[in-house]
Structure 1
Amino acid sequence: MRRKLKLLFLAIIAVFLVVHILKEPKTTIPKSIQDEVEIALGHFSELEGIPIAFKFKKNIKKSVMQAQPTWSGLLKPRSKRSYVILISEKFKISGAEFKTVDVPRDVLIGWIGHELGHVMDYQERGNLNLIGFGIRYVLLKEFVKKAERAADSFAVSRGMSEYILKTKRFILNHSEIDDVYKARIKQYYLSPDEIMEMVEHQDSIRDNNLL
């Protein structure tokens, strides 16, 4: 009897995996943030055709948004991967609660752009490397810093510097946001000054190429 139950259990898992692997993923966007997502996606031509599902979640620990590869995507070639970007319905810091959709429009676009920067980073990694990425992100603070700064850099290099700057300033200059959270942003992410330096460097390279 136990053997039959075990085989049945394994069969159910196998069917579940097959269904999810064969199911054709697609990009889905909640109507309330469709305009902002489309503006952000417009800066990432490399992600055209890559399925990304944007989903609201009641709460995300230590974050407002989170980009992840789907489990089925990890079993496919990177050209066939799909992703999900989870968006917290609300975020509460030091007693101040905000609905994510109610933050200034450009701030929201910047937040989404940062997460798309993560997707760009993921797309450059092989499957085993991506699994290792997840493990290191959980265990190593220095790796968190490297990953978050890389996501910022991808967004800035795709012309989203103004949006990313507005997101940083919204957090760092908001009087009701806890200093501990602000310190985390300063520790792990690009600073406004570093972003401006990146933009100036990009402009310099572009100007030299025009000569």
Structure 2
Amino acid sequence: MITFFKKPKSTVPKNIRQEVKTALSYFPELDGIPIRFKFKKSIKKSVMLAQPTWSGLLKPRKERSYVILISEKFKISGEEFKTVDVPRDVLIGWIGHELGHVMDYQQRGNLNLMGFGIRYVMLKEFVKKAERAADSFAVSRGMSNYILKTKRFILNHANIDNGYKERIKQYYLSPDEIMEMVKKQDSTNNKDLL
């Protein structure tokens, strides 16, 4: 008897379907890659988290699947807010950043990806490198406006926990660095047109 396994499909909760669709439109390379978006009660130190599925770790890159966990709520000055209630562009930017992680994972071999996970948990400097890479993937795909809106929402919101703000400042690209990347991209694109 021959059994055919169905390839897992992407799943997206209805209440964020449009935001995910918008973010995914900037990553045509991920078309056909199964990504499950799933709400979770809370995620330590984060609002969203992208990771390969356990079964995906042992498969070739083209057959991997991923999950993007989204915290249902986050705290601003001790008060909880639903993640889906943040401004639409901010949510798209957060999702775009996580898709940047998926792009990074897709470029890694299986052993490299497993080593990535270990280094991410063990080494703070590696966390910084990984988070900046995810931002860079999103910015290079044309999502700079969304990524900037997300950063500004976090950094300029007076009531967001200072510990979270400090984590963003320490590990992620700053708004100034993003603007510098955009200038370099524009400069390169203009040279290509000449």
Q: Where on the TM-score scale, by shorter chain, does this alignment land: which range? A: over 0.9
In the TM superposition, residue 180 of structure 1 has moved relative to its aligned partner by 1.9
* Pair 1:88-2:71 in alignment: yes
CA–CA separation in structure 1 for the residues paired with 2:73 and 2:160: 14
C-alpha contact 1:96 1:176 (8 A) present in aligned 2: no
C-alpha contact 1:107 1:166 (8 A) present in aligned 2: yes
* Pair 1:26-2:2 in alignment: no
In the TM superposition, residue 74 of structure 1 has moved relative to its aligned partner by 1.1
CA–CA separation in structure 1 for the residues paired with 2:145 and 2:129: 21
C-alpha contact 2:89 2:146 (8 A) present in aligned 1: yes
Deviates more, 1:178-187 or 1:129-138: 178-187
Which structure has the bigger radius of gyration? 1
Q: Which residue in the other structure is 1:209 paired with? A: 192
Q: Which residue in the other structure is 1:102 paired with? A: 85
Q: Which residue in the other structure is 1:5 paired with? A: none
C-alpha contact 1:58 1:90 (8 A) present in aligned 2: yes
Q: Which residue in the other structure is 2:37 paired with? A: 54
- SS at structure 2 position matched to 1:55: strand
* Pair 1:158-2:141 in alignment: yes
Q: Which residue in the other structure is 2:150 paired with? A: 167
CA–CA separation in structure 2 for the residues paired with 1:93 and 1:133: 31
* Pair 1:193-2:176 in alignment: yes
CA–CA separation in structure 2 for the residues paired with 1:96 and 1:111: 20
CA–CA separation in structure 1 for the residues paired with 2:124 and 2:38: 27
C-alpha contact 1:66 1:87 (8 A) present in aligned 2: yes
- SS at structure 2 position matched to 1:53: strand
CA–CA separation in structure 1 for the residues paired with 2:25 and 2:110: 26
Runs of at least 5 residues in structure 2 that lack an aligned partner in the other structure: none
Equivalent of residue 25 in structure 2, options 31, 42, 45: 42
Equivalent of residue 47 in structure 2, options 44, 48, 64: 64
In the TM superposition, residue 72 of structure 1 has moved relative to its aligned partner by 0.9
Matched-pair identity in %: 81
- SS at structure 2 position matched to 1:159: coil
CA–CA separation in structure 2 for the residues paired with 1:132 and 1:94: 36
Higher normalized helix content (fraction of residues): 1
CA–CA separation in structure 1 for the residues paired with 2:100 and 2:76: 24
* Pair 1:180-2:131 in alignment: no
Deviations along 1:48-101, one digit per CA (max 9) or x if unpaired, are 110000001111111100001011111110111000000011012440321000
Deviations along 1:82-126, one digit per CA (max 9) or x if unpaired, are 000000110124403210000000000000000000000000000
Runs of at least 5 residues in structure 1 that lack an aligned partner in the other structure: 1-18
CA–CA separation in structure 2 for the residues paired with 1:23 and 1:138: 32
In the TM superposition, residue 24 of structure 1 has moved relative to its aligned partner by 2.4
C-alpha contact 1:120 1:154 (8 A) present in aligned 2: yes
Deviation beyond 3 Å, 4+ runs, structure 1: none
AA partner of residue 121 (structure 2): V
The root-mean-square deviation of aligned C-alpha atoms, in Å, is 1.1
AA partner of residue 43 (structure 1): Y
AA partner of residue 163 (structure 2): V
